[in-house]
Amino acid sequence: MAEKKKNYDASSISVLEGLDPVRKRPGMYIGTTGPDGLHHLIWEVFDNSRDEAMGGFANRIEVALLPDNYIRVADNGRGIPVDIHKQTGVSALETILTVLHAGGKFGGENTGYKVSGGLHGVGVSVVNALSTHVIAEVHRDGAYHMQEYNIGVPKYKTKKIGPSKQQGTVITFQADPTIFKEIVYDWKRIVTHLRQQAYLVKAMHLSVIDARELEETQQKKLDLKGVQYISDLALEVPHQHFYFEGGLRSLVAFNNQYQKPVHKNIFYIEKNEVDSAVLAVEVALQYVDDLSPRISAFANNIYNPEHGTHITGFKTALTRTLNNYAKKNNFFSVKDKDAGFTGDDVLEGITAVVSVKMPEIQFEGQTKAKLGSVEARGAVESVFGEAFGDWLEEHPDDAKAIINKVILAVKARKAAKAAKDSVLRKGALEGMSLPGKLADCQSKRAEDSELFIVEGDSAGGSAKMGRDRRTQAILPLRGKILNVERARIDKMLASEQIKNLVIALGTAIGDVFDIEKLRYHKVIIATDADVDGAHIRTLLLTLFYRYFRPLLEAGFIYIAQPPLYKIQRGKDVRFAFTDVEKFAVLKDMGVEENIEEGEADDEAPEEEEETAAAAKKTGKVRIQRYKGLGEMNADELWETTMNPEHRVLKQVAIDDAQMADKIFDILMGTDVSSRKSFIQSNAKLANLDI
């Protein structure tokens, strides 16, 4: 690609520091040495290539997962400089890879585009320090250069291998297993993160390839020397390609793919060089037929799930602009003195993405979840407000549809408020005695207490008998709970089931929600391993997602994993949680034949005992498939599902709030056809994996 800005050479690197501190305290640089930190290595290397694309110097990036846990990131940018750096006396390439903070000092004034995000942008040298092996390849000025490193130490000087017609950088690294607890890359997570990144750089070709497992014939093709893109080798492996001409506009369209838009056109504005503190503001939005807002915020391409100053500015401008437009175009009745939209009214059903780029950036807290820089607020407010006002004037059909949608929200708000006030103020929840259905635990310390939400009265009965009553409380749920996705708080609390649950949790709900009052630090959903069970679980997760999100964020919500099979041979009783485990158990018992399969609810209990007794004598193996929790007796339920020493719990995490939101939308929202196709295509997945 053509060079745009002033030429850069090695002399601009100024800060010098070795890599020892990184290996001593990796957490300081990449957060954790768990899965987050491991994946952070990829983001770190990718970010450099992405910045090269954002600057207009590259338009193609490839991230490849290779055998032996190698990760490879390639781009067609300018190539990392290879000339000798004055201060270090070694190549700029070596300096960037072996000197802490050196990478970040490129860009800024030199290139005018690179913006540093703090945790991101710690530099590729950190990745080098935490890798057993790194290969850096540079195609630049007609030549192909290379250098390798072991745990951050160069194996040889940067060397010129030969001529090259290509241009760009390829970084291949292998994370150090003595640093990371476990080296397992999560394909889904990588694809999700990179897709999101692809939206942030317009018209960038981004490929993600999973070439970890290759057949022998394919393996031969994988001689990487001099090859810039593995995609070009046409391997038969999983891969994804992302290319979004419209940038954030495409992201809004993607977020709305399962929704019903209330107007046709997506609003979009991009403004560069807003003022001295803000390099760029970009906003896209479209309203859909839904109640909740979905706003995604980015600062320097870092996703901010907790929003911050840019979103504050956005909301202020949104409210003001829509009020002005409605007033000017006589949408408000003259008689109504209280006419006007509140901040909440204009957010109902909005899908928006706001992105800012700043040379100096401040986040609140360690995780970069919330933008703190004050300048972002005014910049977004003025850039977006002005552009959105103009757009409304130029798109009267869209404007009218949006205003009508907001007017509907106002009406609903007034109706709901009246109902909610009566429910909440009258103390329907607070001070109310615990529901009779709840078998509470003895402990009053939330840290020690667990609440099992159990499907059905019969399983509830077994759970009550089998539990450790000191710390385990049981709340049986009868049948389906209300689908809360589209219901308002007032309607929800009219449901006995939900009211019981809310009272049991102790936190109350809505404006008066208080996580400090939570009565259990483990809230465990225990439903059957069938379609109904999956549905109830989804409904509960929707409820938690919509109204008790802090509980999800704090990691208080779990899903019990009851076994699928009981396998018995004489006195030898074992449980299997998957089909694979079942076969392993059978193999371990030394049987592949002579198996008797049974289902408890086809047989009377006496018969079952007889069969078991017969099994003891003949050495026959009996396999029972549990259709529901209710089929287990109290002891079995305790032993397999409730006993903290043996049970398996799956913690529900909102790793990616957007992804969870999407699944709930599909499963619970208005768009019936996409729900159908989602359920059909995911029918085999037993767990709703959010």
Which residues of the chain form contacts with ligand 0RA (CB under 6 A)? 7-8, 48-49, 52, 75, 77-78, 80-81, 106, 169
Calculate helix-pair angle for 309-328, 375-394, nearest 10 degrees.
30
Q: How far is the CB of 595 from ligand 0RA (least distance, A)?
A: 57
Report residue 91 as tokens: 């190549």
Q: Give CA 415 to chain center in angstroms.
A: 34
Q: How far is the CB of 16 from ligand 0RA (least distance, A)?
A: 16
Clarify whether 236 is annotated catalytic.
Answer: no
CB 353 within 8 A of CB 283: yes
Nearer to ligand 0RA, 137 or 290 (CB): 137
Buried b (16+ CB within 10 A) or exposed e, 499-511: bbbbbbbbbbbbe
Q: How far is the CB of 72 from ligand 0RA (least distance, A)?
A: 12
Clarify whether 338 is annotated catalytic.
Answer: no
Annotated catalytic residue within 137, 348, 485, 528: 528
Cα–Cα separations (whole angstroms), residue 61 to 198, 251, 485? 10, 19, 38
The DSSP secondary structure of 214-253, one letter per residue, reads --HHHHHH---TT-S-GGGG--SS-EEEE--TTTHHHHHH
| Neighbour tally for 149: CB within 10 Å | 23
Clarify whether 530 is annotated catalytic.
Answer: yes
Q: How far is the CB of 74 from ligand 0RA (least distance, A)?
A: 9
Annotated catalytic residue within 186, 344, 393, 530: 530
Amino acid making up residue 127: V
Nearer to ligand 0RA, 75 or 671 (CB): 75
Find all residues with CB under 8 Å of 205, minimum gap 6, and list them: 59, 60, 61, 241, 242, 243
Q: How far is the CB of 279 from ligand 0RA (least distance, A)?
A: 18
Cα–Cα separations (whole angstroms), residue 399 to 52, 60, 287, 290? 38, 38, 10, 17
Round to whole Å and give the CA distance between 475 and 435: 9
| SS3 category, 340 | coil
Hunting for tokens 């290759």 — which residue is that?
Answer: 214
Clarify whether 290 is annotated catalytic.
Answer: no
Cα–Cα separations (whole angstroms), residue 565 to 27, 44, 600, 611? 42, 44, 11, 16
CB 311 within 8 A of CB 379: no
Nearer to ligand 0RA, 110 or 643 (CB): 110
Round to whole Å and give the CA distance between 164 and 376: 43
Report residue 129 as tokens: 């320090």
Nearer to ligand 0RA, 205 or 616 (CB): 205
Q: How far is the CB of 75 from ligand 0RA (least distance, A)?
A: 5
Nearer to ligand 0RA, 170 or 326 (CB): 170
Q: How far is the CB of 2 from ligand 0RA (least distance, A)?
A: 12
In terms of Cα–Cα distance, which of 350, 293, 290 is closest to 322?
350
| SS3 category, 27 | helix
Round to whole Å and give the CA distance between 354 and 593: 62
Annotated catalytic residue within 83, 386, 532, 655: 532
Annotated catalytic residue within 455, 485, 661, 665: 455
β partners of residue 171: 73, 136
Cα–Cα separations (whole angstroms), residue 652 to 61, 547, 559? 33, 15, 7
Q: How far is the CB of 284 from ligand 0RA (least distance, A)?
A: 28
Nearer to ligand 0RA, 137 or 636 (CB): 137
Element housing 161 (H / E): strand 159-163
Round to whole Å and give the CA distance between 45 and 136: 11
Q: How far is the CB of 402 from ligand 0RA (least distance, A)?
A: 42
Nearer to ligand 0RA, 158 or 250 (CB): 158
Nearer to ligand 0RA, 8 or 332 (CB): 8
Nearer to ligand 0RA, 52 or 490 (CB): 52
Cα–Cα separations (whole angstroms), residue 524 to 95, 440, 649? 51, 14, 8
Q: Give CA 379 to chain center in angstroms.
A: 28
Nearer to ligand 0RA, 73 or 281 (CB): 73
Report residue 144 as tokens: 């192909």
Q: How far is the CB of 439 from ligand 0RA (least distance, A)?
A: 59
Q: How far is the CB of 7 from ligand 0RA (least distance, A)?
A: 5
In terms of Cα–Cα distance, which of 170, 168, 3 is closest to 97?
170
Nearer to ligand 0RA, 85 or 271 (CB): 85
Round to whole Å and give the CA distance between 50 and 196: 12
Active-site annotation, residues? 455, 528, 530, 532
